């Protein structure tokens, strides 16, 4: 790439996903939208996941990237592995919490040192980090004076529930010391909650669990950065979003669904739109088989431990009776709300523009 004045003046964001499949996919979709809005993007995977990405996408995966979009890899500090599987969650939390700050700083220093070379990329002007990566990203943000934007890939309801997990611990309301049906009526914006409705961090609410404490550490720095993005649709979670905004010293923006925004905005940008994030090689044989079947001919296989009469009753209720009809009507209403939110003047599009403007103004 040959540098030019226009290109070198663009904001340059590095995007830091948590090193797991769903987080990588969500961050990559946001990166595509930011690139479409005019930002240069450096997408950062761990070396472990970068290898898997190349193995899944083939040797030509990185050959046809759009101008101003690049992938790089950094070490995660964990023992080397050639496995083709997601790493241990507790180990990944340890890495994101304590081991990746230095590699992120080194990367930014290297990127800024290459700004006048043939790469053509301008110096890094913003860090967009998965909320679970901000404990490490904040180190680089402070060292280089680069603004930080947080991305929560979960819903606003889930995010608020995570924020209140430490309160449960303080109140002694952690299982197994409390009935799971105990009501929680003190979380703003969330009604009819019970202990069993709260996040459980890989099946446990042990007060000493590393993942639970990692989550608490993340929530404790909720106000760090210049903005927070939540991957949701504003009209669907307005009460919870208002509650979160009232707690935050920085703007909170609902932007989503990312994939629908991409489908509606990147129609003529095939190279950008079709950058993949799968860490496993896709097997399309099942889809080919499914396409070969007659419409509505493929049924549901039920295990021997399931009561068929009960399944039949639930299916009939959903397909034929009033409850099912109400659910279908509600689903269609939600679909329309989401479609409107991702339109040119919808809430998600407007919020995305606000985020880009904030990144540019803090460049």
φ and ψ of 326, to 5 deg? -65, -40
Q: How far is CA 143 from CA 101, 123, 135, 237, in A?
A: 10, 14, 13, 36
Tell me which DSSP letter residue 96 carries: I
Q: Is 130 a catalytic residue?
A: yes
Structure tokens of 184? 């929680």
Q: Is 239 a catalytic residue?
A: no
Structure tokens of 53? 């990405």
Report d(CA 83, CA 56) in Å as an integer.
13
Report d(CA 52, CA 57) in Å as an integer.
8
Q: Is residue 182 within 8 Å of 196, Cβ to Cβ?
A: no
Among 12, 23, 35, 36, the one annotated catalytic? 23
Among 130, 138, 209, 231, the one annotated catalytic? 130
Q: Is residue 354 within 8 Å of 253, Cβ to Cβ?
A: yes
Q: Which of 31, 120, 109 is nearest to 74 (CA)?
A: 109
Report d(CA 69, CA 36) in Å as an integer.
10
Helix, coil or strand: residue 253? strand
First to last CA, the chain: 23
Please, where are the H alpha helices in the chain?
5-8, 21-36, 47-57, 89-94, 101-113, 134-144, 156-170, 210-220, 238-247, 258-265, 270-273, 285-291, 308-320, 322-341, 347-361
φ and ψ of 88, to 5 deg? -55, 130
Q: Are strands 148-152 and 126-130 parallel, antiparallel or unpaired?
A: parallel
Residues carrying an active site annotation: 23, 130
């Amino acid at each position: 790439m040959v540098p030019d004045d226009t290109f070198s003046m663009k904001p340059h964001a590095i995007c830091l996903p948590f090193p797991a499949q769903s987080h990588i996919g969500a961050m990559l979709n946001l990166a595509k939208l930011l690139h479409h809005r005019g930002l240069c993007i450096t997408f950062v995977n761990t070396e472990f996941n970068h290898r898997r990405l190349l193995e899944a996408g083939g040797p030509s995966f990185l050959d046809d990237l759009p101008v101003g979009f690049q992938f790089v890899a950094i070490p995660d500090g964990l023992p080397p592995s050639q496995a083709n599987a997601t790493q241990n969650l507790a180990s990944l939390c340890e890495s994101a919490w304590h081991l990746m700050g230095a590699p992120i700083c080194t990367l930014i220093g290297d990127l800024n040192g290459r700004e006048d070379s043939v790469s053509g990329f301008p110096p890094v002007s913003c860090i967009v980090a998965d909320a679970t990566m901000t404990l490490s990203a904040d180190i680089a943000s402070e060292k280089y004076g680069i603004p930080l934007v947080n991305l929560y890939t979960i819903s606003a309801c889930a995010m608020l529930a995570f924020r209140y997990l430490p309160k449960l611990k303080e109140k002694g309301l952690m299982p197994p010391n409390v009935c799971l049906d105990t009501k929680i009526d003190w979380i703003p914006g969330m009604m009819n909650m019970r202990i069993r409705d709260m996040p459980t961090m890989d099946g446990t609410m042990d007060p000493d669990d590393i993942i639970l404490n990692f989550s608490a550490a993340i929530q404790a720095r909720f106000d760090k950065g210049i903005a927070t993005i939540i991957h949701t649709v504003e009209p669907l979670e307005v009460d919870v979003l208002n509650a979160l905004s009232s707690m935050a010293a920085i703007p909170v923006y609902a932007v989503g669904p990312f994939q629908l925004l991409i489908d509606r905005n990147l129609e003529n940008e095939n190279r950008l739109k079709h950058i993949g994030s799968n860490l496993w090689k896709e097997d399309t044989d099942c889809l080919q088989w499914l396409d070969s079947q007659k419409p509505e001919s493929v049924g549901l296989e039920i295990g021997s431990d399931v009561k068929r009469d009960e399944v039949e009753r639930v299916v009939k209720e959903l397909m034929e009776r009033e409850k099912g009809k109400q659910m279908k009507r509600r689903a269609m209403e939600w679909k329309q709300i989401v479609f409107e939110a991702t339109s040119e003047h919808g809430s998600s599009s407007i919020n995305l523009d606000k985020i880009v403007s904030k990144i540019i103004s803090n460049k």
